[in-house]
Amino acid sequence: MSFLRPVAMAKVGVVGLRSDQEWILSVLHDQGVIQVEPLRKETLAVFPTEGTPGFQRAVADELLRIRGIKGALPATGSVPPQAYPTLEGLLAAARAIPIEASVTALKREEERLQTERKSVADLHDLLGRFSWYTGPLDYFHLEHVLGFFGEVSADRYAPLRAQITAIADVVFLESIGPETARFILAVNSTQADAVSRLAQQRGVVLTAAPTIPGTIAQRRPELEARLRDIDQRLREIRGQLTDLAGQWYAPVASLEEALTIEARKLDVYNRIAAGETVFALEGWVPRRSLPKLEQALETATAGRVAFYPVPTTEEPPTLMDNPGWVRRFEFFIRFYSLPQSSEWDPTWIFALAFPLFFGFMLSDIGYGIVILGFSLWMIAGFPGRRFVPRFLKNFLKRIMPPSAMQSLAWTLIPASILAIVFGWFSNEFFGPTVHLPGPHWNVTANLGDLFLVAGFIGLAMVVLGFTLGALKAYYRHHRKEMQARLAGILIAFGLTFLGLQLVSKTFQHLLGRIPAWPLPAASYVELVLIGIGVGIILRAEGAQGLLSLTEILSHILSYLRLVGILLSSVVVAYLVNYIAGRALHHGILGSVVLGGILAVFVLLGGQVFNVVLAVFEPGIQGARLIFVEHFSKFYSGNGKEFRPFGTRRQHTLPASIGFATTSIVPPPPPP
């Protein structure tokens, strides 16, 4: 685990004997710590590229075939890990699976029956809704006549019928209920397109009358019988597939995984240089994993392998390694931009600052409990989601996919807990003030103090950003950039304390109580800090660097929005509760009942609206304060993610000595 830094990377080369090549690739794959890179021109000058082996096509074909068989079989039971010592043995085992024809035939029949079932079920449902029509269906498929079935709300039927009648010669049959009107219309085939377009423009879908003989009463029992036959055959097919899976799923699953691994190994061949007796490859490896990887290769080849460092100025790929609870916040960092491997990993900062900002801006026990419950519901996999209104589910899906919502929910748990804690101290529960034990502060009464706290938070975040930026410039030997960042720290302190003396009586009183630092002297100190900072910036960046003065001040002041969002939430909750209370106690138009109805509507609707704001506003503004006002001081981003060569094994045994105990013996040394 690394703190505030991605995992340190080293680019290394591996040289081994051609006779050990397959074995070495297996070790590298099973270790999963090297990202194989294209070879440098210096290496290619010594060795030609390996190229794609001739058996790659055979592996690809067998993988496609085995993957299709596995996808058709239901997963059954556990799959004991299998070992495949040689590629030839793996391909032979894959070709020996005899069930491809049977599985393919069963799946094709299953897909055909499912398609037919949907068609039959839709027709059965359509005829059921129009069972009030007792005449023959043949009438709607004459030489020059087409029939359509339609449904529309009862209040829209009469206007629709009048509009259709105005443009075509139509015969209507109808059944009008209290809410829904169902109708059948027969129209001349030359006018059918115009009628369909008009209905579509009015949001009504017309379904062509089914081309079946007889009446609805005659056809529906036949359709029900066909559905029963299809369901019975589908059960038989699934039973046969289950029987096949009981015998063959385990070997098929292990073969599919083994072939996938071999396909990945074959992809590496295009990045290997090889001569007649030796080969070489290069890649990025975490520095902490180098000793273990080198030891594993030494053991597997009896010392017939060599490592060499690769000199490079390339930016390494990025591997972040944070503890579990901090890793939850990598969602936000990746959304913004992945850090470069040589810069700071700000996930820790985000994991600490975002919940604090969110909780402070919310500061309400009730809203915190609601958001905490909603987060736990998302993490649990949205149980009971079938009861959620469709419009709400569609709205949530448009915002982000379910997996991203679950990642966000993990980060909202500490944020909502802090909102409950801050709500306790501010005596807020869905807006109204509650009397809780312990020390408390009032948002409106202590507004000046809250702005003072927000200002100091802004100063701390800006100074931390400049400090990280100065350290980053120091490590990269960018002297002028480091000087500009240090100057930013001096200016930030000077502007903040000078501004606080001008606007805050509380701060003036605090300074007046410190005899060693009287108020007038403090003012000169702050001006000196600003002057020194400006001088350093002029030397490092020239006159254009003075633009950073307004940027520093605006970034510190921007953190005052912490109080602004908090105040807006309190005001909205107060107005909702006030309006609902007035309506409940005084009634509407002299009616207490109407007043009570309006009070419930305003209270529920307003509080739901404020809960939505309580998620979006603190979330967006809290992330923005970190992304813009903090990251801009030190963060570049645009890193490349570390993608190691390897596959997670579930159904196969690794063929690497030192990583698993197997019966596989490494290849003998060359004569």
Number of domains making up the chain: 2
- Residue 530: pLDDT over 90: no
Question: What's the pLDDT tens digit per position in 205-223?
Answer: 899 988 888 899 999 999 9
- Residue 110: strand, helix, or coil: helix
Q: What are the C-alpha distances in Å from 381 to residues 345, 390, 392?
A: 30, 17, 16
**Whole-angstrom distance, CA of residue 644 vs CA of residue 286:** 10
Q: What single-letter amino acid sits at 187? A: V
In a domain? residue 168: yes
The pLDDT of 62-75, averaged and rounded, is 93
Rounded distance between C-alpha atoms, residue 475 and residue 343, angstroms: 9
Continuous segment of H or E residues that includes residue 150: strand 145-153
- What angle is formed at CA 183 by the lines to CA 178 and CA 187, rounded to 5 degrees? 155
Got the DSSP string for 526-572?
HHHHHHHHHHHHHHHH-GGGGHHHHHHHHHHHHTTHHHHHHHHHHHH
Who's near 578: CB < 8 A, 6+ residues apart?
none
Q: Considering only 15-19, 368-372, 590-594, which range has the smallest mean pLDDT? A: 590-594
Q: What is the model's pLDDT at position 517?
A: 43
Q: Which two tokens stand for residue 5?
A: 């830094």
Rg of the chain over all Cα atoms, to the nearest angstrom: 36
Q: Report percent pLDDT > 90 for the chain.
A: 45
The tens digit of pLDDT for each residue in 560-610 reads 999 989 888 888 888 888 888 877 777 675 677 777 888 888 888 888 888
Three-class DSSP labels, 183-241: EEEEEEHHHHHHHHHHHHHCCCCEEECCCCCCCHHHHHHHHHHHHHHHHHHHHHHHHHH
Beta bridge partners of 283: 12, 36
Q: Token pair of 623, please?
A: 């992330």
Residue 453 has pLDDT above 80, yes or no: yes
The candidate with the shortest Cα–Cα distance to 167, out of 197, 122, 145, 136, is 197
Q: Rounded to an integer, what distance in angstroms lies between the CA atom of residue 359 and that of residue 347?
A: 18
The tokens for 230 are 């299809």
State residue 402's pLDDT score: 79
Model confidence at 378: pLDDT above 60: yes
Give 140's pLDDT tier (boundaries 50, 70, 90): confident
**Between the ranges 303-312, 389-398, 516-525, where is the mean pLDDT highest?**
303-312
Q: Is residue 329 part of a domain?
A: no
Last residue of a domain, one of 540, 559, 578: 559
Sign for the CA dihedral angle at 113, 119, 122, 125 comes to: negative
Distance CA(212)–CA(139), nearest Å, equals 10
Sign of CA dihedral 253, 254, 259, 264: positive
Read off the pLDDT of each residue in 465-490 and give the average, rounded to a whole number: 91
**Contact 29/647 with Cβ under 8 angstroms?**
yes
**Domain final residue pick, 188, 204, 228:** 228
Domain boundary among 525, 559, 593: 559
Residue 627 is assigned to a structural domain of this protein: no
CB 26 within 8 A of CB 299: no
pLDDT bucket at 669, cuts 50 / 70 / 90:
very low
Residue 563 in tokens: 């109080």
Question: Which band of pLDDT confidence, cut at 50, 70 and 90, is reported for residue 506?
Answer: low
pLDDT at site 547: 77
Evaluated on CA atoms 31, 36, 41, 47, the torsion sign reads positive
Joined tokens for residue 517: 């630092």
The two three-digit tokens of residue 264, written as one number: 């990945």
Mean pLDDT of 430-443: 71
What pLDDT was estimated at residue 665? 36
Res 327 pLDDT > 70: yes
Question: What is the chain's mean pLDDT, rounded?
Answer: 85
**Across 10-18, average pLDDT:** 92
Quote the tokens at residue 244.
């096949």
Q: What is the per-residue pLDDT for 505?
A: 54
- Give me the mean pLDDT over the 440-456 stretch: 81
Task: Flag the least confident range among 119-128, 383-392, 468-477, 498-507.
Answer: 498-507
Higher-scoring residue by pLDDT: 508, 184: 184
- 474: in domain: yes
**Token duo for residue 194:** 């115009």
As a whole number of angstroms, the distance between CA 507 and CA 489 comes to 21
Q: CA angle, 198 as apex, 197 and 199 as ends, to 5°?
A: 90
Q: Measured at the alpha carbon of residue 621, what is the angle toward residues 616 and 624, in degrees to the nearest 5?
A: 125
362, amino acid identity: L
Token pair listed for 358: 């969110």
Please report which confidence band the pLDDT of residue 260 belongs to, taking 50, 70 and 90 as the band edges: very high
Torsion sign (Cα): 267, 268, 272, 274:
negative
Q: What is the pLDDT of residue 574?
A: 85
Q: Tell me if 213 is assigned to some domain.
A: yes
pLDDT at 633 over 50: yes
- The mean-pLDDT minimum among 46-60, 156-170, 230-244 falls in 46-60
Residues 6 or more apart whose CB falls under 8 angstroms from that of 242 comprise 74, 76
Q: Is residue 521 scored above 60 in pLDDT?
A: no
Residue 516 lies in a domain: yes
- The residue among 31, 472, 78, 650 whose CA lies nearest residue 295 is 31
Residue among 440, 415, 418, 420 nearest 430 (CA): 420
Residue-wise pLDDT for 638-647, tens only, equals: 999 999 998 8
Per the DSSP assignment, residues forming a β-bridge with 37 are 282
Q: In angstroms, what CA-CA distances link 506 with 446, 451, 509, 513?
A: 12, 11, 5, 11
pLDDT confidence bin for 670, thresholds 50/70/90: very low
Q: Contact 357/365 with Cβ under 8 angstroms?
A: no
297-326 residue pLDDT tens: 998 888 899 988 998 889 999 999 999 889
Instruction: State the Cα–Cα distance between residues 601 and 587, nearest whole angstrom.
Output: 13
**CA gap 106, 117 in Å, rounded:** 16
Q: How confident is the model at residue 126 (pLDDT cuts 50, 70, 90)?
A: very high
Instruction: Please name every residue paired with 17 in a beta bridge, in sequence order, or none if there are none.
Output: 278
Confidence of residue 400 (pLDDT cuts 50, 70, 90): confident
Average pLDDT rounded to a whole number, residues 274-302:
90
CA-based nearest residue to 457, from 567, 353, 569: 353
pLDDT at 660 over 50: no
Q: How far apart are CA 365 and CA 378, in angstroms?
A: 20
CATH number assigned to the domain comprising residue 179? 3.30.70.100
Phi/psi of residue 26, each to 5°? Answer: -65, -40
| Residue where the block lists tokens 């070489």 | 280
Beta-carbon neighbour count of residue 355 at 10 Å? 21
Once rounded to an integer, what is the mean pLDDT over residues 469-496?
Answer: 90
Q: Categorise residue 25: left if φ over 0, alpha if ψ from -120 to 50, beta otherwise.
A: alpha
Show the domain range for 513. Answer: 443-559
Tell me what pLDDT residue 384 has. 78
Identify which has the larger pLDDT, 2 or 535. 535
In the predicted structure, residue 661 carries a pLDDT above the cut 70: no
CB neighbourhood size of 578 (10 A): 13
Domain assignment present for residue 610? The answer is no
The pLDDT of residue 659 is above 50? no
Helix ranges (H only) for 269-401 are 290-301, 324-327, 330-336, 347-362, 365-379, 390-399
In-domain check, residue 623: no
Contact 326, 3 (CB under 8 A): no
**Lowest mean pLDDT across 44-58, 511-525, 638-652:** 511-525
